[in-house]
Amino acid sequence: MLLGLLFALGGLTALTVGADHFVKGAARLAIIYRVAPVVVGAVIIGFGTSAPEMVVSGLAAAQDDLDIGVGNVIGSNVANLSLVLAAATLITVVPVTSGVLRREAPLSVASCIVFAWFVQDGLERWEGVVLLVLLAAALGWVMRSAREGDPLAGEVEEFVEEDAQLHPGHEVTRTLLGLVAVVAASWFLVDGAVRVADALDLTGGFVGFTLVALGTSAPELITAVAAARQGETEILVGNLLGSNMFNSLAVGGVIALVGPGPVLDSTLAGIGTVMMVFIVVVAWVMMITKRGVERWEGIVLIALWLLAVIVLSSGDEAAEALGGLT
């Protein structure tokens, strides 16, 4: 138990640091080689910020722990639009631009629904292919619809402000070391999560939804709080919605390809996916009504996350109750 906690906490810490350097290095390399800003924002930064979820879930699925991988995707999606968004609203009102409501929001909601649907009967390789094809189509639409001066392109600026001069050799080293750190940290995190689940007699899905998902969402949480304190929240919601799209389609596609099979935790596949879609839709409605998310709405989102954890922790009892209502 103690060793599992040490592995998990150490892995979480290294994962946060490694992911930060990986995405910065990759984005800066793209800028050095004159990749279009909208491509950097939509593709490179999108993949980079979802790297923790992708590697952790992929490793878990490859080791026949598909439930941890699926739980991580569902838990990260829920955490992004409940805990992370709520943390920012406790500091300031988080605005939502019309471009985000027109582009990232519907794509994010649709992606979560598709992933939830596929999970019901387990994940198969052909479903992984479908998810990745949908990701490519979604990215194509995002890049075509982005206009000059769009926040998606402006997002790239934060990766070049720290250094006036960008050096290819330095950024290559940063990217590679960051990637190595992400992979190594993910192995320790998955191993630690399995140990904790076994010691406490918890399902892999529940551990993935809570411990693992909170860890892989830590970079987004830190960024959200920092942005709120500095009053720079214009692109925050777009980032969170984009992260959910990548989690559902890219990470979901990877785990379906490397570790297809049934989801053994029926509560996660049932109530867990229902709670994910419900929370995502609630957050979307909050964004639409006032073009922003306020503090009281953030408190509601936190309450919904706690409700999801309580329901999932009740296991089969909750599943039977839901079955009795349908």
Out of 45-49, 97-101, 170-174, 286-290, which region has the weakest mean confidence (pLDDT)? 45-49
Banded model confidence at residue 117, pLDDT cuts 50, 70, 90:
very high
Instruction: Output the pLDDT for position 211.
Output: 82
Task: Note whether 74 and 273 are within 8 A (CB).
Answer: yes
Q: How confident is the model at residue 158 (pLDDT cuts 50, 70, 90)?
A: low
Q: What is the pLDDT of residue 326?
A: 43
| Strand intervals (E) in the chain | 94-95, 292-293
Q: 277: pLDDT confidence band, cut at 50, 70 and 90? A: very high
Instruction: Name beta bridge partners: 95.
Output: 292
Q: Tell me how far apart the alpha carbons of residues 74 and 68 are, in angstroms, rounded to a whole number.
A: 10
Residue 291 pLDDT greater than 70, yes or no: yes
Average pLDDT value for the chain: 81
The CA distance from 227 to 88, in Å, is 8
pLDDT bracket for residue 157 (50, 70, 90): low
Instruction: Kindly tell me if the per-residue pLDDT of 162 is higher than 80.
Output: no
Note whether 72 and 60 are within 8 A (CB).
yes
- Residues β-bridged to residue 22: none
DSSP H helix total and E strand total for the chain: 20, 2
User: In this predicted model, which residue has the larger pLDDT, 13 or 304?
Assistant: 304
pLDDT at 147 over 50: yes
Q: For 155-164, 170-179, 195-204, 263-272, which range has the lowest pLDDT when averaged over its residues? A: 155-164
pLDDT for the residue numbered 316: 53
- Total number of domains constituting the chain: 1
The mean pLDDT of 188-195, rounded to a whole number, is 79
The burial of 249, by beta-carbon neighbours within 10 Å (0-12 exposed, 13-18 middle, 19 or more buried), is given as buried
CA 224 to CA 237: how far, in whole Å?
Answer: 9
Predicted local distance difference test score (pLDDT) of residue 94: 87
At residue 319 the predicted structure's pLDDT band, cuts being 50, 70 and 90, is: very low
Collapse the DSSP code of 91 into the 3-class scheme (helix H, G, I; strand E, B; otherwise coil) and give the result: coil
Mean pLDDT over 129-133 rounds to 96
pLDDT at 76: 92
- The highest-confidence range among 15-24, 41-50, 83-92, by mean pLDDT, is 83-92
Residues with Cβ within 8 Å of residue 244, at least 6 apart in sequence:
76, 77, 80, 81, 108, 111, 112, 280
pLDDT of residue 20 exceeding 80, the answer is no
Q: Rounded distance, CA 54 to CA 62, Å?
A: 12
For residue 161, the model assigns a pLDDT of 55
Q: How far apart are CA 216 and CA 209, in angstroms?
A: 10
Token pair in block for residue 152: 């998606």
**Lowest model confidence (mean pLDDT) among 183-192, 212-221, 285-294, 314-323:** 314-323
Give pLDDT, residue 35: 67
Task: Determine the 3-state secondary structure of 293 from DSSP.
Answer: strand
Range of the domain at 117: 53-151+185-325
Neighbours of 154 (CB within 10 A): 14
What secondary structure does DSSP assign to 23-64, as a single string?
Answer: HHHHHHHHHHTT--HHHIIIIIHHHHHTHHHHHHHHHHHHTT
Domain membership of residue 143 (yes or no) is yes
Q: Is residue 113 part of a domain?
A: yes
CA 208 – CA 214 distance, rounded (Å): 9
Say how many CA atoms lie within 13 Å of 6 toward its Cβ.
Answer: 3
In a domain, 169, yes or no: no
CATH of the domain at 195: 1.20.1420.30
Find all residues with CB under 8 Å of 25, minimum gap 6, and list them: 171, 172, 173, 174, 175, 176, 178
pTM for the full predicted model: 0.83
C-alpha span between 209 and 202 (Å, rounded): 11
Q: Quick check: is 104 in a domain?
A: yes
What is the pLDDT confidence band of residue 252, given thresholds at 50, 70 and 90? very high
Provide the pLDDT for residue 234. 66
262 burial type by CB count under 10 A (0-12 exposed, 13-18 middle, 19+ buried): middle
Percent of the residues in the chain that have a pLDDT greater than 90, as a whole number: 34
For residues 252 and 8, what is the distance between their CA atoms, to the nearest angstrom? 22
Q: ∠ CA(101), CA(90), CA(93), 5° rounding?
A: 40
| Assigned token pair, 239 | 């980032």
Q: CB of 119 within 8 A of CB of 257?
A: no
